[in-house]
Chain A
Amino acid sequence: MKTMKRSAGERAFEIVVYAIATVFCLFCIFPFVIILASSFEEEANFATYGFPLFPRDFTTEAYRIVLGDSQIFKAYGVTIFSTVAGTAVSMFLTVTMAYPISLKKLKYRNVITFFAYFTMLFNGGLVPIYLLISRTLGLKNNIWVLILPVAFSAWNMFLMRNFFQGIPKELSESAYIDGANDFQILWKVILPVSVPGLATISLFYALGYWNQWFNAMLYIEDANLFPLQYLLMRMMRNADAMKEMARTIGISVGEVPTNSLRMATTVVAIGPITLLYPYVQKYFTSGLTVGAIKG
């Protein structure tokens, strides 16, 4: 009798657990369904029926405009360039800083660590950095403005250091005895065994670059240098950006399918992350659990 009762309780527990997880996942997916369905919806339906969960009248018109316009490809180019080149620069700066301060034998590592750590506590604020970039460095309308100001993150550097600290000392010590110098050891001994850590930190940086729009908004006026996210933002904010897009492929301004066009552009912009995400997810998870609690 007792076991019967308990198994009923366990069953209820099981159901609640699965229900909570499932409902939360539906909640997570819901906006994406709206985006996808709306991007294929006939424009006239929006005013009458609102944004759909499933298109009433299926059309690929919005995609025809998005993909027929060169702007989206330019934006893709800018975003891909800043993501790839940016991640490379970031990893260089991060690894060359994180490795030395991960070594106990380096006497002044605490000084350097604090030098980097202090930047996480205190900064000059928006105006000084704005003046530095736009006036002192003159990086306005320069694609590197999407990379240089965000190239180094102390937070990621400390995560990387935590990874390096987990590598057994014996590995580098035997290389020292063989006469290798620190550059060679880092390159030939440490990096090959740090691939999971490197992958995690690269992905953190890459995602940051892919999703950034703030620096574009502040420093870029040249439409050829707009990254994807900023293009989205402009489409969201002003109709002119969209009319521009429609005009280039010869649609009269009054016929611009505003709503579906916005959503189709969004789909095009998040497509790559969505496709890549399942493969890289485990690296994000491992990165968080290595360094999140003890920064």
Chain B
Amino acid sequence: MKKVFRELWKNKFLYAMTVPAIIWICIFNYYPMYGILIAFKDYSYKKGILKSPWAGFDNFEFLFNYRGVWKIFFNTIFLNLLFLIFTTIFSVLLALVFVEIKNKVYNKLVQTIAIFPHFVSWTVVAMFMSGILGSSGFITKWIVDSGAADPMFYRNPEAWPIILVILKIWQGAGYGSIVYVAAITGFDQEIYEAARVDGATRLQRVSKITLPLLKTTIIMLTIMSIGKIFNGDFGMIYAIVGDNTGLYPTTDVVDTFVYRALRQMNNLGMSTATSLFQSVVGLILVYLSNAVTKKIEPDAAIF
């Protein structure tokens, strides 16, 4: 104990510095954890968390029996997998392309443009989506003018996984390419020089040197994303789909469901139970992906 105090005193300024952030973390991260009790309670606003009666696993039972809830779990994972696969493919493709553009001005220009969508909020995306796919949207009009039937995008859930994937590529592929560009620039240039002397074409150098070298980075980043696969992108989906129930069959995810359970169904117990279930699944996934990471590349493991 004495040793502890001696260390605290020795570095008192440094420990003191961390106090504001620690207080913040306690208030906004650790204190709410006690609210997880709501998942096991029949919560009423009047009685508060502690005085509300216990409900055992009723909230979870209600959740798992809730109509369509398994589809929501499926959507969350399915959409995230699609996002992961396609943004990775496009990020890598863009990175390969960017490093091959030798004209400096054009290189800077294309990278700047490709990254920009990442800085725009999903509310802006929702706005232009209505201008593109809405009833008089640019693409809708174009389809109708070409003589085909009105696709009525906002009433057709089947189209949305693809639409969301395209938006995700639009928003994230350029940004995602930055890491790969950095990785490629870090590769040993002598290998490329040797390959060039041996008569390898640029295409061969990309496919036989760059891609195999990138493999580790790609695998690492992918495995790390697996830990977040049960976390739906609320910002994206709620901004674009919102309360359009017609699109729920393919777009409703855990996070939008949690929000609805709180705000519309006013079922705080079920909402909390869903969050808790999500957190636990997430924790298991992070643990698993980390274990796999450790096997492949011990340096990149988080713990």
A residues within 8 Å of B by Cβ?
Answer: 6, 9-10, 13-14, 17-18, 20-22, 24-25, 27-29, 31-32, 34-35, 38, 46-47, 49-53, 92-94, 96-97, 99-101, 103, 105-108, 112, 115-116, 119, 121-132, 148-149, 151-152, 154, 157, 181-183, 186, 207, 210-214, 218, 229-230, 232-233, 236-237, 259, 262-263, 266, 269-270, 273-274, 277-278, 281, 284-285, 288-289, 292-295
B residues within 8 Å of A by Cβ?
Answer: 7-8, 11, 13-15, 17-18, 20-22, 24-25, 27-36, 38, 49, 93-94, 97-98, 100-101, 106, 109-110, 112-117, 119-121, 123-128, 130-132, 134, 136-138, 140-142, 170, 173-175, 178-179, 182-183, 199, 201-203, 217, 220-221, 224, 234-235, 239, 242-243, 258-259, 262-263, 268, 271-272, 274-276, 278-279, 282-283, 286, 299-300, 302
Establish whether residues A229 and B123, one from each chain, have CB atoms under 8 Å apart when the complex forms. Answer: yes
Asked whether A115 and B25 contact (CB < 8 A) given A34-B138, A132-B32, A281-B115, the answer is: yes
Q: What does DSSP make chain B's interface, helix, strand, loop or mixed?
A: helix
Closest to B169 in A: A27
Establish whether residues B94 and A288, one from each chain, have CB atoms under 8 Å apart when the complex forms. Answer: no
Establish whether residues A152 and B271, one from each chain, have CB atoms under 8 Å apart when the complex forms. Answer: no
Establish whether residues A232 and B24, one from each chain, have CB atoms under 8 Å apart when the complex forms. Answer: no
Establish whether residues B130 and A236, one from each chain, have CB atoms under 8 Å apart when the complex forms. Answer: yes
Partner of B201, one of A13, A123, A211, A293: A13
Cα-based distance from A210 to B124 in the complex (angstroms): 12
Partner of A182, one of B13, B27, B116, B142: B13
Q: Which residues of B contact A103 (CB under 8 A)?
A: 14
Establish whether residues B15 and A100, one from each chain, have CB atoms under 8 Å apart when the complex forms. Answer: yes
Establish whether residues B7 and A107, one from each chain, have CB atoms under 8 Å apart when the complex forms. Answer: yes
Establish whether residues B131 and A17, one from each chain, have CB atoms under 8 Å apart when the complex forms. Answer: no
Cα-based distance from A202 to B34 in the complex (angstroms): 31
Partner of A9, one of B35, B93, B201, B275: B201
**24 A-B pairs, CB-CB below 8 angstroms?**
A24-B114, A27-B170, A31-B131, A34-B132, A46-B136, A101-B18, A105-B11, A106-B11, A123-B32, A123-B279, A124-B33, A125-B258, A125-B272, A125-B278, A126-B258, A128-B36, A152-B24, A182-B11, A213-B239, A229-B123, A237-B243, A259-B131, A278-B112, A293-B183
Q: Which residues of B contact A236 (CB under 8 A)?
A: 123, 126-127, 130, 242
Cα-based distance from A133 to B278 in the complex (angstroms): 22
Cα-based distance from A53 to B137 in the complex (angstroms): 11
Establish whether residues A25 and B275, one from each chain, have CB atoms under 8 Å apart when the complex forms. Answer: no
Establish whether residues B136 and A127, one from each chain, have CB atoms under 8 Å apart when the complex forms. Answer: no
Cα-based distance from A27 to B72 in the complex (angstroms): 30
Q: How close is B210's CB to chain A, nearest CB, in angstroms?
A: 13
Cα-based distance from A49 to B145 in the complex (angstroms): 9
Q: How close is A184's CB to chain B, nearest CB, in angstroms?
A: 9
Asked whether A25 and B20 contact (CB < 8 A) given A17-B101, A108-B7, A295-B302, the answer is: no
Cα-based distance from A146 to B36 in the complex (angstroms): 24
Establish whether residues B113 and A28, one from each chain, have CB atoms under 8 Å apart when the complex forms. Answer: yes
Establish whether residues B35 and A131, one from each chain, have CB atoms under 8 Å apart when the complex forms. Answer: yes
Closest to B6 in A: A107
Partner of A285, one of B125, B178, B282: B178
Additional 14 contacts, C-beta under 8 A, given A213-B123, A285-B178: A9-B201, A17-B100, A20-B94, A49-B141, A51-B134, A93-B24, A123-B29, A123-B279, A125-B279, A149-B28, A233-B123, A237-B243, A284-B115, A295-B224
Asked whether A127 and B24 contact (CB < 8 A) given A46-B136, A50-B141, A214-B235, the answer is: no
Q: Which residues of A contact B21 (CB under 8 A)?
A: 93-94, 96-97, 116, 152, 157
Q: Which residues of B contact A31 (CB under 8 A)?
A: 125, 128, 131-132, 170
Asked whether A281 and B178 contact (CB < 8 A) given A28-B117, A124-B36, A125-B279, the answer is: no
Closest 3 CB pairs of A and B: A128-B35, A125-B275, A50-B141
Q: Which residues of A contact B202 (CB under 8 A)?
A: 10, 13
Q: Which residues of A contact B32 (CB under 8 A)?
A: 123-125, 128-129, 131-132
Partner of A10, one of B11, B201, B283, B299: B201
Cα-based distance from A123 to B33 in the complex (angstroms): 6
Asked whether A50 and B22 contact (CB < 8 A) given A24-B174, A128-B34, A229-B123, the answer is: no
Q: Which residues of A contact B22 (CB under 8 A)?
A: 97, 112, 115
Asked whether A51 and B262 contact (CB < 8 A) given A123-B32, A124-B33, A289-B178, the answer is: no
Establish whether residues B18 and A125, one from each chain, have CB atoms under 8 Å apart when the complex forms. Answer: no
Cα-based distance from A132 to B224 in the complex (angstroms): 31
Q: Which residues of A contact B271 (CB under 8 A)?
A: 125-127
Cα-based distance from A139 to B258 in the complex (angstroms): 21
Partner of B18, one of A6, A27, A100, A148: A100
